[in-house]
Every structure is written in structure tokens, then in C-alpha cells.
Structure 1
Amino acid sequence: MKDPKLINGDEVHGDKLDGDKVAGDKIVVSPGVGGMQDSIGITAGRDVIYTADAADSEMEIVNDYLARAAATYEARMYQLVARPAALPDQPYKFLYAFEIEDTDIFFGQEAASEALYQTVLKDRLTILHAKSGAGKTSLLNAGLSPRLIREGRLPVCARAYEDPVLAIKRAIAPSLGPWPELLPKLTLHEFLGLTCAQLSRQTQELVIILDQFEEFFIFWPERHHRQPFIDALADCYDDKSLPVRLIIALRKDYYSDLSDFEQRIRNIFHNQYRLDTMTRQEAQMAITGPVAKLGRPVAYGQDLLDTLLNDLARGGMELPHLQIICTRLYEALAEGETVITLTSYEKLGWAKGILGGYLNDVLDRLPGKGGSIAREVLKELVSSEATKRVLSYDTLAARVGVEEDAELDSVLARLVDARLLRRDEVAGEITYEMAHEYLIEEIQGWIDRTDLEFKQAEELLRREVANWHVHGTLIPRERLELLYVQRERFRGLDEETLEWILRSALRADFAVENWAKLVGEVGEKPLLAALGDQREEIRRAAMRGLGALWGIQEVSRLGSENDSVRWEAAKALARLGEPRAIEPLIAALRDEDS
């Protein structure tokens, strides 16, 4: 590790350094690792000077943390295959994906599991693609991962969302207490390099699995926003000394979007595996295999099996259909019975009755307002692109607008129990998502044009927030205009985000008064700060915003383009004696024509 450089005795006072304004702030030149080495950081409002000892200490803290994280992760993975898992009471997964521990009831995909395994070993990057509902996640979890683990190739499963690098870090080090300060700043290559250095001899490599990767393309529709992660992944792929393999799994309708990677990974399409629809024989194994493994083996009557396979074939041999129908047939089996019959299938309404009625049956059985609350929850969990999305409990509570938390808690618990939702915890935050995309077709019918337009605005805002967190950018005017139409419907935004929206409106000089009213008292701080801006148009916009926020018309009029209006407003404020108007008046006096 290099010694830190000193610039004018640890401080730089001036206008620019490498293109960045530093104007009196302390400058920190911190020795780092890889891409962070010799990087210059500016600290606003406080002095933080790193010494060589401090940097070494910080790296030591990161290494200690990653050593614990790697050991914990290895132990968990190896335990999953060390001893046979207890067979579940329920042989089918309904709409849930199979997990690693479900390998003993995972049937019908043996050939696909072997083919995918051989494909993964051919190259350090594999693309797995298939239509929605084909069972990609189940194949990765229960078909591929157990074999990889037994060979010392540990799978690390991550969902892309808006920040795939963060998702990978959280997958390896999810809950070992607060992260060291340096850990979020590490590049993906640095993080994986440091983590792999902590692995035991039993582990050959990590296999990073980016599942449901279409979410990355949906969240970042513009190519230049995708590029940072493309570069990060390519850096890892190019370093052949890094003991890491990569698997990207996505829906076939987003397969061509991977061409964005070609500039950095020229053979992105070279090593790919397409998961096809199950054959009739594979579907039969998926139906009969799990029940044969139970403590009390259960069989299907041959007439039922033939009828069921014919019905599934007419529907395209959809795996979700198979799981739903078999789950309902098994649950209808009376105590002591060991054969599932055609009569039972008929009583349940055949495939059409089983598939068409379950969702509405669950909602109709919810007491009181539960059904309507559940419908709103499910609508929120569908994106404008008709895909699943993950939302935190707090976000759902703000969007659905339930008066009592207990009411929402009860509905969410019932939807999870009915296997319609999945509940998870990410970085200490409770999240929910639909169990399977199969449900979306029905839920889309509940979403009207107004709801769809709001979803599009909401997703735009999420992308802009992610951009701001990564690049520190404000919202451009043309996107502010799109968000403005839906502004009254935004719920659950934190104070930091509200301030950032208002700063964006100030910079664009767009509808500042209305944004200020929406943001409320949180907006006072950025508006007062903008009174000191060097640009006259920003100062005047801030005056109008403060006037709207405080409900003082004369302060708003200080921001007028008309000199006489501003002069009359100043005189009125002097007579009014309003203390809050002092700062806007001082700012008005800074104008050249005042």
C-alpha cells in the first residue's frame, strides 16, 4: 500500500484540482486498493485526513470483516449438502421456486441440470435464458447449485434490482453487523478479490449467479446508465486469476439486450444455455417423483395422470400450472388415502377451475377490508413492464394507505401463508414480492391507465434516485415535468429524497412553488441555502418557493421578474415585520438591479 501524498500540507485551497471544485474544503488523498488507489475525496463541512496508518487500519477492518463473512457463507453452503434435508410435508412448491434444500423433491429437470452444469464449466461466463415460468431459478437452485457446492464451487445468488454490485456484496455479507466504512466503496473486482483471498482450501471458486437479470434492463433502460455495471462485470471476467465464474439468468425476451455487454465482453453470447419447455416424460416425473419420496408414498391414478398431462400439454406444459394443480390435488387427498384420483381432479374443476379460481378464492376469504387491501398490495408489486418488483414493508404501507399497521400486517401474513407472496429481509429491511410472475396476467386486469401512468412515473423516480446515489446528479427538467404530473401520488419518500427533488426543481427553475408545497417544511433548508447561490435566477426561484412554503405572498413576489413588484413586496415586508423574510430580503439586495 502506498504512502499518502500531501498537497500543501494536507490542504488544498483553490478553485480546481483535476476538474473538481474544492473551494476551501479539505482534500483527502487516500491510499486504497485497485481502482481506489490515489483517489482524491472532498469532504464538505468536516475535515477528514487519512494517514497511511489510518488507511492500513481501515483495510485491516475490511479484511477481518470479509474473513468472518466468507467463513460464515462457506459454512452455510456446505451444511446445505452435508446431510440429507428432511423431506417436507408438502411435496410441491406451488408458486415458490425450488431452493437448494429441495433437491430431493426436484424432478423432471435431470437432463437440463446436467446440460447446464457442463455449459457452466466450459467458460467463466454463462448465459441461461428461457421464457417466463420455465423454471430458471429452480434449475439454478435445486438442479445446479448442490452439485457445484459438493465440488467446492460456491454459488452466490443475487438479484440485480437497481444496483447489482451492492446485491452481490449483500449476498456474501448480509447480516454480520454494520459494514466497515470502506466496504461499500470497493469495486466489484476489489470486493471479490478480497473475499476470495479469505476462502478456505475446500473452496475452489465462487459462482456469481445474477438471477432474473431482466430487472437490470428494465430498471436502467438507457445504455449509459448500464455501463458502470457492464464495466465492473467485465473487469472481473477479464481477470483470469480471479477464482470466480459468472452466470446471468434472464427471460428470453431480454436476451438480445445483452448485446450492450459486447464492447467489453466480446463473446457474451458464446456460452449460453436455453432452458426449453419440459417434455411429457419430464412433466410426468415432476408430478409423480415428489409424492413417491414422502414418508407415506402417494401415487396418481393412471387415468388421472394421462388426463393431467394432456391438459398441461394443451397449455404449453407450463411449470407453474403443474405446480398449482398438483399442490391442490395433494391438499385435497383425504387422510389415509394414498392414491390421487381423476374424481378428485373433477371435483376441483379440472385444470381451468383450479388455475382460474385460486387467487380470487384467497382474496374473497379475507375478512373485512382485507380483500381490497390485498388487491392494492398485489397491484403495487407489478411493474409497468408487467414484471415482479420488490418493495419494502414501509413503501407498501405508504402506498396502500392503510390506517392501521395491524390491518396491513394481517393481510400480508395471509398472502404469504397462501403462497402468493414471498417475504424476505434485505439489509435489515423487510421486503415483499409476488411468488411468481404467473399471477401478473390476472392482476394486470385490475390496473387501469391512471395506475399504469403512475407506475411509470414512480419507476422513473426510482431510476433518478439510484442515479443520484451513484453519480450525484439532479433530475433534468424534462423528467421533472413527467414526475410533476404525478407528484400528489408519491408516498413514503424520505426527507433526503424530498430535499433532492426540490434542489432539482430549483436548478431547473421549474414549478418550484408547487414542489415546495409538496415537500413541506423539509424544503426550507435547501430553499434558504439557495438564497446564497451566485445565480440570480436560482435565488429568485428560492424566494418564490419560500413564499409558497410559508404562505407569505410578499416573499414570493420578491422573486418576480418585475422590479416594481419586487420593490413593493420589499416595502410590504418591512411593514409586516416578518422575521423569516430577513434572509430573502438580503438575497434580493444582492441583485444587480436592486
Structure 2
Amino acid sequence: PRLARDHGYLAEVALSEGDVATAQTQAERALEILAIAGALTTKPSPDQDLEPPKPEPALQPELGIAHQFQRGWYLYLLGRVNIAQGQPEAAIAMLELARANTAPKSDLPLCLSILQTLQKQYYQQKDYRAAYGVKLHQRRVETRFRLRAFIGAGEIQPQERPQASDRSAQTLLSTEIQASGRQGDVEALTYRLEQARYPLVVIHGPSGVGKSSILYAGLVPALAKSFPEGRASLAVLVRGYRDWPDEVNQALAYALQQQGSDEGIPPAAPIDQAALIDRLKTLTEQSYRQIVLIFDQFEEFFVEAAELPQRRDFYTFLIDCLNIPYLKVVLALREDYLHYLLELERGFDLDILNNDILSRDYRFYLGNFKATDAKFLIRRLTDDAHFYLETTLIDCLVADLATAIGEVRPIELQVVGAQLQRQNITTLAKYLELGDHPKETLVQNFLSTVVQDCGAENAYLARLVLYLLTDVDRENRAYRPQKSREDLEEELDLRGAEYETEQLDLVLEILVGSGLVFLLPDIPIDRYQLVHDYLVSYARRETPAHLLKHLNRRQGG
């Protein structure tokens, strides 16, 4: 193995000097030595026909180390040789072998180099789906080893449940929530929901403060470990409102399924309001659970049900839920829609809430960061990721991010921070080189990076899809509608867009993978949604006519 390593160094030097033939010879020789060493570590048994070869114990540890730390390196060298020889298909095959033979915990720098090179090769061959798959894998590795200071536009994701003997995933989840500055909020919400005097919690705040993230990656996992009065908690997360009884029922089935319950089979037929209430009541009475219905992005309910008569059935359902013991309701919505809840005080019995649904007892404000807190958070996140920023850069960045009242939106901090790290901007001088409006430039670059991942042939289609995932309501407020694949195709066709089905498949897959767009699984049809209101104005900067002109010109060419 030591001799193999020497040949590996010689191959590395030859590549740096442009001597491709020597590099290939040396890398192949290194692999041959490993293979020979492997053969020598096994000695034949006395009766080869009856017994397998027995390993030579003295040589096994050294060979194991060589395979763990060196084999991937030699394969990576050969992959680079293939690139230099103009053999992209052979290079991709060799790099995939190198990837399979290199564990990030054994050699993290090598693993990342392999992934970066492989991603570039796939992209150059216009295999954008494979290229983006490698990019996502690299992102997961960087997140796992805390090399990424910011999460970008996507939500903080709940981690997979660890094995009983492995607490690392649980620790990672806690770290991400703490890094978002929201651990105290998760604990306060969990405490409220364990108290009988809080049948309702209304989480409200401006767009982009992280309401969805705190629910999905904070509150839901926390409730899994909450046992009010000895009852297990069942968190039911609802994210769609077109047919809200069915949405609630499907979310309930999914939550039960996650807990391993036999009751978690989604019914084939739609459910009516009375049957849904009966099902919820039965579950609380017979399974010794406390159920927490969590309605995320609840402002969308008021967009779907634009008139008061359309909303009254849900209000009746809500009151029925609040009057069932051990059934709690959480409503999370933008603060500019908060006043709609006052409709419940007209014509409904709100004794359970002391006839004051917007009382401070039931509201939970989730706000932006103060500028001083934002500075501390940026320093903490970047130091943990060994991405060190000048203090003057942090001061200038927070000043650019801060609103007129000195607050910083968490979503904007995450998006700008992610692009700052992607462009490796660590000094104030490099930040100011971005122009007169560096913050806006970074956000546009963030979106452009995702669009570029779709490939030059699909870039205008990607921008058009992002535009179509925005709209304005009757009061001329921009918002993020949920649209199915069929909705998007219909709008593209109506506008005369020229595209192939495979192109739209690829664009949606990459937009979802990037975190810019939610995929909301549903029965009978999935829906898509732009991830944050904050990004709506950026997605609408180019007009559909302009995008269509360029899209159709490229398709026609």
C-alpha cells in the first residue's frame, strides 16, 4: 500500500505538469499494487475445494486502510486523466467509481473534489438531471459536516430519526434550529400546547420570518417527544386548502402512518365535515393521544375561499375542534391576514376562547431578527462553518439587510448569506465590488444559479415557471398560488410557450430540489408553490412576453 501511494503522488505530479500519459501509468500501477496486495493477504486452505481462502491477519489492517483512504484517490486521478484525454464518458464512469470508493468521513476534501468534478462533467455533457443530483449529494455532505453556514431559500428540514445508539441526527436537528435563532420559540410553543388552557395557538408574523420552518423542522419533531398528561402527541401538518376536509384527512392519515399506526391508511373516498370531526374525536378518546392540527400558511385559505360564505364551514369545523378535549389547533399565517380571524366573532360561539380569538393568550408572534441579533447569528453560523467574514463586512451586510426599523428578515439573511458563501465573498472590498446594490445582486445571483442548473436550453422555461408560480390577488397583493403540473402546462400553452414535456419535468425537478419551489404531495394530484413571498418580486422582474420571446426563439433555433 505504501508503494501504491508513492505511485499516486507521482500521478498527481504528472497531471499538474500536463504529462497525461505518465499520470495514467502511475495511477494504474497504484491500483495494480492494491490488487496484488489484496491477493497476497489471502492464503489457500489445505483443502481449497472444501474451504474458502483464509485471510493473512498481519496484512489485513494496512490493506484495509489503503482501500479506505487511497483507492478512491487513484480512481479520481484516472478520471482526471480521462478528462485530459477528451474522454468524458470514460471520465464519468471512473469518477462514479471514485465516488463509490470514497467515504466523506474518511477523506472529506477528496470526496468533495470528486463530487465537484463529476458534477461539472455531467453538466458539460448536458445531463442536467444527473449533474443536479450530484450537486444535491454534495450539499448534503457539506451540511452534514457543517461546511454550509446558510440554508438558502429552502426550509430547515427535519432529520431522519436516529438509531437508538446514534444521537448525531438528533443533535444536528437541534443545532439547525438553534442556528436559525428559533430554539426558544419551539420550546415556548411546545409548552403552550401541553397546557389545557391553550386550545388554540395563532402563530403570526411578517413574510419570511421562518414560520413554515419552525413548524416543519421544529414544532412537529418536538411534539413527537411531548406527552401532556401522559398522552402521546400527534402533530398533523396541513398545507393545502382547496378541499380542506380531504386535506386534513390526508394529513391525519400521513401522521398516523409516520407513527406506525394501522389507522394511517388514507381513505379512497373524500370525507365530509361531520365524519372528519367524528374521526378526530374517536382518535382522542380511544387511542390516548393529544392531536395537534397545524394549519401552515393559513393565509392561503382566505385566497382559496375568497368570500365569507365559503369560509363558514371551516369556521364551524374549527369551533368543533376547539371544543373536543385533547384536540389543539395551530394556525400559522402572515400578520396582514390576521384580521380575517375576527370573522369568527360574528355568528359563532367562542366561549372556549372567552370570545376573543386575537387575545394575546392565543397569539404567538414570530418576528424578524434585531440587527444586533443578526450580527451575532451571522458570526456564529460562519465561524461554525469555518467561513470567516470580516467584521466590517458583517456590519455592512446587516446594514443592507436591515429594514427602516432595524430588523432583518431571516429568509433574506439565509438567501444572501448562502450566495455570499457560494461566491466566496469574505471581505468588505469584494462585497462592494458587486455594485451599487450588492444585496439585490446576490439575491438575483442566487436565483440565476438555480436557473443555470437547469441548463442553457431550459433557462427561459425555468424563469417562466417561476413567474407562473406568482400572482396578485384582488387587492393587488403579490402572493404564491399553489399550482398543479396541469395548471402550469395549461398556462404555458395558453401563452404559446414552445417546450418539450421532458424539459418541464427537468425544470420542476431542479426547482424543487433547490428549495426554491415546494412540491406539495396530494391526492389525487401534486401541487407546486414558490417557497417564500419574499422571492415573488424577484420572480416577477422579467415579463412573460420577454421570457416567451427568448424561449420560443431558442426552441425554434
Give the TM-score normalised by structure 2.
Answer: 0.57
CA 1:329/1:181 → structure 2, altered by over 3 Å: closer, same or farther? Answer: closer
* Cα distance between partner residues in 1 of 2:400 and 2:319: 45
CA RMSD of aligned residues (A): 3.1
Residue of structure 1 in register with 2:211 after alignment: 136
- Residue in structure 2 matching 1:376, options 460, 464, 467: 464
Residue of structure 1 in register with 2:480 after alignment: 388
Contact persistence 1:187–1:232 (CA under 8 A)? no
CA 1:368/1:356 → structure 2, altered by over 3 Å: closer, same or farther? Answer: closer
Is 2:356 the counterpart of 1:267?
Answer: yes
CA 1:147/1:181 → structure 2, altered by over 3 Å: closer, same or farther? Answer: closer
Is 2:343 the counterpart of 1:257?
Answer: no
Residue of structure 1 in register with 2:70 after alignment: none
Which consecutive unaligned segments of at least 5 residues does structure 2 have?
1-142, 160-172, 228-232, 258-263, 546-557
Residue of structure 1 in register with 2:518 after alignment: 422
Number of equivalent positions: 353
Contact persistence 2:419–2:445 (CA under 8 A)? no
Q: CA deviation at 1:410?
A: 2.0
Contact persistence 1:230–1:264 (CA under 8 A)? no
Residue of structure 2 in register with 1:168 after alignment: 248
The CA deviation string for residues 15-48 of structure 1, in whole angstroms up to 9 with x for no partner, is: xxxxxxxxxxxxxxxxxxxxxxxxxxxxxxxxxx
CA 1:207/1:392 → structure 2, altered by over 3 Å: closer, same or farther? Answer: same
Q: CA deviation at 1:165?
A: 2.4
CA 1:396/1:177 → structure 2, altered by over 3 Å: closer, same or farther? Answer: farther
Q: CA deviation at 1:446?
A: 4.4
Contact persistence 1:113–1:143 (CA under 8 A)? yes
The CA deviation string for residues 116-135 of structure 1, in whole angstroms up to 9 with x for no partner, is: 44554441101111111122
- Residue in structure 2 matching 1:232, options 310, 314, 317: 317
Aligned-partner residue type, residue 245 of structure 2? V
- Residue in structure 2 matching 1:306, options 391, 395, 401: 395
CA 1:181/1:132 → structure 2, altered by over 3 Å: closer, same or farther? Answer: closer
Is 2:431 the counterpart of 1:342?
Answer: no
Contact persistence 1:87–1:104 (CA under 8 A)? no
* Cα distance between partner residues in 1 of 2:248 and 2:395: 44
* Cα distance between partner residues in 2 of 1:183 and 1:367: 43
* Cα distance between partner residues in 2 of 1:308 and 1:149: 38
The CA deviation string for residues 532-554 of structure 1, in whole angstroms up to 9 with x for no partner, is: xxxxxxxxxxxxxxxxxxxxxxx
* Cα distance between partner residues in 1 of 2:518 and 2:269: 31
- Residue in structure 1 matching 2:443, options 355, 362, 366: 355
- Residue in structure 2 matching 1:219, options 304, 307, 310: 304
Give the TM-score normalised by structure 1.
Answer: 0.53
Aligned residue for 1:156, secondary structure, equals: strand
Aligned-partner residue type, residue 359 of structure 1? L
Q: CA deviation at 1:322?
A: 0.4
Residue of structure 2 in register with 1:109 after alignment: 182
The CA deviation string for residues 400-449 of structure 1, in whole angstroms up to 9 with x for no partner, is: 23552102112223323443222342236333211221121133444689
- Residue in structure 2 matching 1:405, options 470, 489, 501: 501
Residue of structure 1 in register with 2:330 after alignment: 247
* Cα distance between partner residues in 2 of 1:368 and 1:307: 34
Q: CA deviation at 1:293?
A: 4.7
CA 1:182/1:304 → structure 2, altered by over 3 Å: closer, same or farther? Answer: closer
* Cα distance between partner residues in 2 of 1:413 and 1:177: 27
CA 1:87/1:387 → structure 2, altered by over 3 Å: closer, same or farther? Answer: farther
Residue of structure 1 in register with 2:539 after alignment: 443
Counting only pairs closer than 5 Å after superposition, residues 531-546 of structure 1 correspond to structure 2 as none
Aligned residue for 1:406, secondary structure, equals: helix
Residue of structure 1 in register with 2:153 after alignment: 95
Contact persistence 1:119–1:273 (CA under 8 A)? no
The CA deviation string for residues 255-296 of structure 1, in whole angstroms up to 9 with x for no partner, is: 1100111223333112112222211233234323444555xx
Aligned residue for 2:479, secondary structure, equals: coil
CA 1:172/1:357 → structure 2, altered by over 3 Å: closer, same or farther? Answer: same
Counting only pairs closer than 5 Å after superposition, residues 39-78 of structure 1 correspond to structure 2 as none
Which consecutive segments of 4 or more residues in structure 1 shift more than 6 A?
A: none
Aligned residue for 1:429, secondary structure, equals: coil
Contact persistence 2:479–2:533 (CA under 8 A)? yes
* Cα distance between partner residues in 2 of 1:196 and 1:317: 41
Larger radius of gyration: 1
* Cα distance between partner residues in 2 of 1:367 and 1:413: 13
